[in-house]
């Protein structure tokens, strides 16, 4: 049986009556950030942003599939306070945040990938620090039930899976794509990420109706 939080999320899942006008300026902000990076010729940041965003979509879809298979609770849920709940753990506000998060973190990368920070390669240092920061934010959101956890091994007391599966691989993929400096290769990797996400939506959403 679904948990209370899971039931709350299911009750508003893809309910268009929740729409709020703040969605439109959020969309405009995302469009401005990407268009500004493209205008400046910062294709590496754009590809990093798209890679980060695509990775999150894959995670969000897998989270929904996990909930369907166990029928009890997703790894994380977003049961309220949204203008639109896209998936059980993904609302439209979270989606727009992840759309630009990869660009924001890519802007923190030193130009030299070989430079070390406290003896750690800077890409790894920023990925680890970024993941830790994101987990900290999730803990705060969880405390006000904005982002919910129902599994003891996915919680503030056991944050390791949140840190690695929930965030670290987003950063590593985004930074890897950023440093390719080959637009065709970057486009292939980003296309693969989004292709996987689209295929998952097609199979588990449109065909099977699991998400």
The pLDDT value given to residue 181: 83
Q: Which two tokens stand for residue 67?
A: 């909930």
pLDDT digits (tens, 9 = 90+) for 132-156: 999 999 999 999 999 999 999 999 9
**Where along the chain do its domains lie?**
4-207
For residue 12, the 8-state DSSP code is H
**Confidence (pLDDT) at 80:** 83
- Residue numbers of the chain with a pLDDT score lower than 50: none
116-117 and 85-87 strand pairing: unpaired
Q: Is 13 helix (H, G, I), strand (E, B) or coil?
A: strand
Query: In this predicted structure, what is the pLDDT of residue 90?
Result: 98
């Amino acid at each position: 049986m679904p948990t209370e939080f899971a039931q709350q999320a299911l009750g508003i899942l893809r309910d268009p009556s929740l729409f709020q006008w703040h969605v439109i300026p959020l969309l405009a902000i995302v469009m401005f950030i990407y268009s500004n990076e493209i205008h400046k010729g910062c294709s590496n940041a754009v590809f990093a942003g798209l890679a980060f965003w695509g990775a999150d979509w894959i995670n969000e879809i897998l989270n929904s599939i996990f909930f369907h298979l166990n029928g009890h609770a997703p790894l994380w849920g977003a049961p309220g306070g949204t203008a639109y709940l896209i998936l059980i753990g993904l609302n439209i506000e979270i989606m727009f945040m992840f759309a630009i998060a990869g660009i924001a973190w890519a802007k923190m990368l030193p130009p030299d990938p070989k430079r070390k920070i406290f003896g750690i390669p800077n890409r790894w240092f920023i990925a680890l620090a970024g993941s830790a920061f994101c987990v900290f934010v999730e803990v705060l959101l969880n405390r006000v039930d904005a982002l919910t956890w129902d599994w003891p091994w996915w919680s503030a007391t056991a944050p390791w899976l949140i840190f690695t599966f929930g965030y670290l691989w987003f950063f590593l993929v985004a930074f890897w794509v950023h440093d390719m400096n080959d637009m065709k290769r970057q486009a292939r990797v980003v296309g693969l990420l989004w292709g996987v996400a689209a295929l998952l939506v097609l199979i588990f959403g449109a065909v099977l109706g699991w998400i």
